[in-house]
C-alpha cells in the first residue's frame, strides 16, 4: 500500500507484495519453496497488467524472487527488438535464468533458496519414495509375469461412483500426509520420520522465541485434534473440532467487510459501502489454500491448535489511475520433475486480467488469481474462466449453456461447482480437484473483492487506500458446505 500511495503503478505494487511473501519461509514461493526430484528449487511467477499484457517465468532455478523476473520480462516485452523480432513474455528453465543474468538480476546458489523445513520435507519424501518403489519391486517379484500388481489395479477397472469417491478421499488424505499433491504443501514431517525427530530435538534444545516456526495463531484454541483434523470428510464431523475463524456470515456482516442483500440499479446483489479513498487504491493478497490438510512445520508439542499459511501466493492491485494488475508466484509441487511448469507461470490458469473496454461507460475490468491443483486448473483454464464469468455476469446453466446471472456470489459458487469440479477432465480424474480463487472487479463506482474455495482453508488480506490496517480473513470450509464464498466492497468517491 505504501507503494500505491507514493504513486507506484499497479504492477509495481503487485511485484512488491509478492516479493515480501516470497521472502517468507512459510509460503511455497521463492525462499523455502518445495524441491524437485533432484533437490533443485524451481519457481514459477506471473504478472499481468491492466491491458492483459503479461510477463512470466517458469521452472526457473537460482532466482530468489521469481516475481521480479516476471516483472522484468513484462517490462522488456514492451520494448521493440531489432529486425522486427517479437520479445518474449514467458521464459522457462535455463533460458529464464540466462535472461535474468543478461539483464543484471542477481543469481543465487541453489542452497541459498532451501530452508530447513524444505530440506526436511525433501528428505522425508525421498525416504517415502524409496519405500514405495521397494514395495512395488517386491510385489512384482512375487507375482507371475503378466499379472497386475496391487499398485495399478485401480487404474485397470472403472470403479463404481461410490468406490471412486472413497478412492479419491483415500488418495486425498494420503496426499496430504505425504505432501506431494498440489501447489500448497503440508509442511509437516510425519510422526516417526527422521526429519520430525530432528525437529523435536532442535525444539527441545532451543526454546528461544527465535526458534519457533512462523505461524498464524487462531483466536480461539480447540481441544485435542487429529493430524487429519482439517481433512474434511476424512474425519467424522463428530470427531472434529476447529479453532474459531471468521466464517462466511461473520465476514459478510463484519464492520470492515460487509455484504448486504441490497439490489443495485443494475440488479446486482451488493455489499454495503465501506470507507474508501477519493482515488481508491487497493491491494488484495492471496496466501494460498490448504488442500484440506495441515499446512505448517510443527514440533511434537505443536500438533494442534494453530493455523498456518504455507502455499502459493497471489496479489491484485489497483493504482491511482484506476489500472488493475495481478500476479502469482509458487515453488510448485514437491518432488516434481525438473522443468515442470505450474499454474503460477501460466496466464489464464493461475493469473488473468480482463481489460476494460474503451467504450464501456462503467469502465469495468476484472483480475483473478487462483491456487490449488495445478493440472486441474490448467485443464479448466481456471483464472480466465472465472474472470470472464464475473466480467460478463454469466454462469453455466442447463446443458452447458451460459445464462445471465447478476449475483456474483452465485457466479463464484457455480464456477467452482460447475466450471471446475464439473469439468469432465476434473470429474473423471483419479485425484480430487482443489481450488481457491480470488477476483477483483473494478467499476466506475466501486471495487469488489470476491473469493471462493472448496479447500478446507483459504487465507486472504485486503486493504483500501483509506484503511488504517488490512482486513485479514482465514476462511474455512463449513462442515456441510462444499464451497465457501465471501466478498468485500470498497467505495470510490467521485466527488471533489
Grid cell digits, residue 386: 472465472
Residue 254 inside a domain? The answer is: yes
Phi, psi of 194 (to 5 degrees): -60, -35
Matching residue, cell 470428510: 233
Please tell me whether residue 210 adopts helix, strand or coil conformation: helix
Average pLDDT (226-242) is 34
Identify the domain boundary among 88, 113, 138.
113
Residue 182 lies in a domain: no
Total domain count, the chain: 2
Q: What does 34-79 look like in DSSP terms, one character per residue?
A: PP-TTS--EEEEEEE-TTS-EEEEEEEES-S-HHHHHHHHHHHHTS
Return phi, psi of residue 436, to 5°: -130, 135
Cell representation of residue 309: 499459511
Cα torsion 250, 253, 257, 263 to 10°: value is: 140
CA distance 46 to 314: 9
Torsion sign, CA atoms 190, 195, 201, 205: negative
pLDDT at 246 over 60: no
Domain enclosing residue 312, as ranges: 248-491
Instruction: Provide the sign of the torsion angle of the four alpha carbons 477, 269, 348, 67, taken in this order.
Output: negative
Position with higher pLDDT, 325 vs 268: 325
* CATH code of the domain containing 266: 3.60.20.30
Q: For residue 66, how many other CB atoms are within 10 A of its CB? A: 33
DSSP class per residue in 355-414 = PPPTT-TT--EEEEEEEE-HHHHHHHTHHHHHHHHHHHTEEE-GGG-EEE---HHHHHHH
Residue with grid cell 460478463, as numbered in its chain: 392
260: phi > 0 → left, psi -120 to 50 → alpha, else beta; which?
A: beta
Q: Give the C-alpha separation, 356 to 322, whole Å.
A: 10
Partners of residue 436 on adjacent β-strands: 371, 453
pLDDT band at 266 (very low <50, low <70, confident <90, very high): very low
Q: How many residues does the chain have?
A: 496
The mean pLDDT of the chain is 77
90 domain residue, yes or no: yes
Q: Where are the alpha helices (DSSP H) in 143-183?
A: 161-178
Other beta carbons less than 10 A from residue 85's beta carbon? 8
Taking residues 383-388, report their average pLDDT: 98
CB 214 within 8 A of CB 362: no
Does a structural domain hold residue 127? no
| Percent of the chain surpassing pLDDT 70 | 66
- The string of DSSP letters for 193-205 reads -HHHHHHHHHHHH
Q: Quick one: 168 exposed, middle or buried, by C-beta within 10 A (0-12, 13-18, 19+)?
A: middle
Question: What is the C-alpha separation between 160 and 172, in angstroms, rounded?
Answer: 18
SS3 state at 316? strand
Cα 159 from chain centroid (whole Å): 31
**Pairwise pLDDT comparison (164 vs 338), residue with the higher score:** 338
220 domain residue, yes or no? no
Q: Which residues contact 173 (CB under 8 A, 6 or more apart)?
A: 228, 231, 234
Q: How many Cβ atoms from other residues are within 10 Å of residue 398's Cβ?
A: 6
Q: Quick one: pLDDT band at residue 184, thresholds 50, 70, 90?
A: low
Give percent of the chain above pLDDT 90.
60
pLDDT band at 227 (very low <50, low <70, confident <90, very high): very low
Q: 10 Å Cβ neighbour count for 393?
A: 18
Catalytic positions, written as ranges: 312
Residue showing cell 464431523: 237
pLDDT at 295: 37
Instruction: Give the confidence band of 145 by pLDDT, cuts at 50, 70, 90.
Output: low
**Is residue 434 included in any domain, yes or no?**
yes
- Pick the last residue of a domain from 113, 140, 170: 113
Interval 81-140: pLDDT, tens: 999 999 999 999 999 999 999 999 999 999 999 999 999 999 999 999 999 999 999 999
Q: 190 lies in a domain?
A: no
DSSP 78-108: TS--GGGPPPPSEEEHHHHHHHHHHTT----
> What cell numbers appear for 196 in the block?
520430525
Mean pLDDT of 183-202: 44
Beta pairing, strands 435-442 & 446-453: antiparallel
Using the 3D structure, point to which of 81, 113, 145 is the last residue of a domain: 113
pLDDT computed for residue 371 by the predictor:
94
pLDDT at 284 exceeding the cut of 80: no
In angstroms, how far is the first alpha carbon of the chain from the final one? 23
How far CA 47 is from CA of 11, 87, 317, 353, in Å, comes to 7, 16, 11, 10
Reported as a single tens digit per residue, the pLDDT across 403-440 is: 999 999 999 999 999 999 999 999 999 888 899 999 99
Let me know: does 365 contact 392? Beta carbons within 8 Å. Answer: no
pLDDT, greater one: 379 or 249: 379
Query: Could you give the 3-state DSSP secondary structure of residue 269?
Result: strand
Assess if residue 222 is contained within a domain.
no
Amino acid at each position: 500500500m505504501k507503494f500505491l500511495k507514493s504513486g507506484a503503478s499497479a504492477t509495481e505494487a503487485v511485484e512488491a507484495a509478492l516479493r515480501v511473501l516470497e521472502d517468507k519461509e512459510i509460503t511455497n514461493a521463492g525462499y523455502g519453496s518445495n524441491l524437485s526430484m533432484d533437490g533443485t528449487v524451481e519457481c514459477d511467477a506471473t504478472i499481468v497488467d491492466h491491458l492483459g499484457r503479461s510477463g512470466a517465468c517458469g521452472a526457473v532455478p537460482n532466482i530468489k524472487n521469481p516475481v521480479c523476473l516476471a516483472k522484468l520480462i513484462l517490462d522488456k516485452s514492451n520494448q521493440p527488438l531489432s529486425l522486427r523480432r517479437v520479445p518474449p513474455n514467458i521464459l522457462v528453465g535455463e533460458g529464464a535464468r540466462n535472461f535474468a543474468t543478461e539483464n543484471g538480476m542477481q543469481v543465487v546458489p541453489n542452497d541459498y533458496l532451501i530452508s530447513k523445513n524444505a530440506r526436511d520435507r525433501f528428505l522425508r519424501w525421498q525416504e517415502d519414495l524409496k519405500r514405495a518403489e521397494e514395495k512395488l519391486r517386491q510385489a512384482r517379484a512375487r507375482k507371475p509375469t503378466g499379472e497386475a500388481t496391487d499398485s495399478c489395479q485401480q487404474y485397470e477397472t472403472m470403479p463404481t461412483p461410490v468406490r471412486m469417491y472413497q478412492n479419491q478421499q483415500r488418495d486425498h488424505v494420503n496426499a496430504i500426509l505425504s505432501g506431494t499433491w498440489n501447489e500448497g504443501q503440508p509442511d509437516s514431517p510425519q510422526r516417526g520420520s527422521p526429519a520430525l525427530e530432528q525437529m523435536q530435538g532442535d525444539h527441545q534444545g532451543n526454546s528461544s522465541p527465535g526458534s519457533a516456526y512462523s505461524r498464524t495463531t487462531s483466536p480461539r484454541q480447540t481441544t485435542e485434534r487429529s493430524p487429519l483434523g482439517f481433512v474434511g470428510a476424512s474425519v467424522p464431523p463428530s470427531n472434529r473440532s476447529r479453532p474459531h475463524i471468521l466464517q462466511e456470515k461473520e465476514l459478510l456482516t463484519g464492520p470492515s467487510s460487509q455484504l448486504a442483500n441490497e439490489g443495485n440499479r443494475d440488479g446486482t446483489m451488493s455489499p454495503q459501502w465501506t470507507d474508501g479513498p477519493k482515488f481508491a487504491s487497493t491491494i488484495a493478497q492471496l496466501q494460498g489454500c490448504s488442500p484440506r490438510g495441515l499446512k505448517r512445520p510443527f514440533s511434537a508439542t505443536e500438533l494442534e491448535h494453530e493455523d498456518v499459511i504455507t502455499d502459493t501466493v497471489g496479489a491484485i492491485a489497483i493504482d491511482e489511475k484506476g489500472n488493475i494488475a495481478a500476479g502469482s508466484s509458487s515453488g510448485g509441487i514437491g518432488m516434481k520433475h525438473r522443468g515442470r511448469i505450474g499454474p503460477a507461470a501460466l496466464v489464464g490458469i493461475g493469473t488473468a486480467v480482463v481489460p476494460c473496454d474503451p467504450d464501456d461507460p462503467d469502465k469495468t475490468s476484472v483480475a483473478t488469481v487462483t491456487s490449488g491443483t495445478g493440472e486441474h486448473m490448467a485443464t479448466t483454464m481456471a483464472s480466465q474462466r472465472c474472470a470472464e464469468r464475473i466480467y460478463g455476469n454469466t454462469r453455466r446453466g442447463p446443458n452447458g449453456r451460459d445464462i445471465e446471472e447478476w449475483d456474483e456470489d452465485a457466479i463464484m459458487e457455480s464456477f467452482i461447482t460447475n466450471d471446475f469440479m464439473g469439468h469432465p477432465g476434473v470429474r473423471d480424474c483419479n485425484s480430487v480437484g482443489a481450488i481457491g480463487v480470488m477476483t477483483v472487479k473494478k467499476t466506475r463506482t466501486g471495487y469488489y473483492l470476491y473469493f471462493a474455495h472448496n479447500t478446507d482453508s483459504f487465507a486472504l488480506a485486503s486493504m483500501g487506500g483509506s484503511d488504517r490496517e488490512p482486513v485479514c480473513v482465514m476462511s474455512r470450509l463449513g462442515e456441510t458446505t462444499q464451497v465457501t464464498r465471501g466478498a468485500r466492497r470498497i467505495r470510490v468517491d467521485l466527488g471533489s
